Amino acid sequence: MTSQVAVEKKKLEQPPLKIHYLGDRVLRQPAKRINHVDNEVRQLVREMLQTMYSADGIGLAAPQVAVNKQLIVIDCEPENPAAPPFVLINAVIKSFSRDVCTDKEGCLSIPGVYMEVVRPELIEVAYKDEQGRPRTLKATGLLSRAIQHEMDHLNGVLFVDRVENSLALTEELRKQGFSPQAVNPIP
C-alpha cells in the first residue's frame, strides 16, 4: 500500500530533517494544501518517516520540519516492520464522535512533556494517500488520537494548547526547559 514511500524502520545517526521545538514560529503557521502529489512530495514523505523513526515518534506533521504543507505521517506500530505507515495529504475530518476520551500525549516538538488531553474518540477523515488517491478512514483509539494531534499541527495548534491542567503543564514545561508563554490555550 505504501511501498513507494517505504523506508526501513530504524534510527539514523543523521536524520534527514530537523525537528523544530515549542517556541519556534514555524509550528504556529497554518499549512497549505498540496496541489500535486508528485515525486518531490514522496521524497519528503520518506524523509519525514526516517526522521520520525529516528526520534522514536509515532507521528510527524510537515510544519514540525519547517515545511508549510498539509502532510502527515503516522505509524502506531513502529516496532512492526510489516505494518505500513499512514500518509495523509490534505486531510479533512469529516465527522467525529460526541464521545470523548482522555489519554496522555507527547510531541516530538516538545520532548519530555507528557500530559492528558481530551479528544473525540472516533473520527472519520478524508485525505489523499502518497499516490494522490482519495481515501477515507475511520479511526479510534491511538490512531484516532494521533491523527487529531497531527492535524492540529497543520493548523498551528499544539497538544499543550489543549491541556486543561495549566498549573501542571507549566511545571512540566519548565522542567523540560520550555517557556509556558509559548502555549496558546484554546478557549
Instruction: Show the site string, 104-143: x = touches Ni ion by CB under 5 A, - = not.
Output: ---x------------------------------------
In the complex, minimum distance from the CB of residue 131 to Ni ion, in angstroms, rounded to a whole number: 25
- Give dist(CA 4, CA 78) in Å, integer: 18
Residue 150 among the catalytic residues: yes
Out of 47, 105, 130, 150, pick the active-site residue. Answer: 150
Residue nearest to Ni ion (CB): 107
- Give the footprint of Ni ion on residues 92-111 (CB under 5 A): 107
Binding status of residue 173 toward Ni ion by CB under 5 A = no
Closer by beta carbon to Ni ion, 34 or else 74: 74
- Give dist(CA 26, CA 39) in Å, integer: 24
In the complex, minimum distance from the CB of residue 163 to Ni ion, in angstroms, rounded to a whole number: 13
In the complex, minimum distance from the CB of residue 149 to Ni ion, in angstroms, rounded to a whole number: 6
Residues labelled catalytic: 150
User: For binding to Ni ion (CB under 5 A), which residues are involved?
Assistant: 107
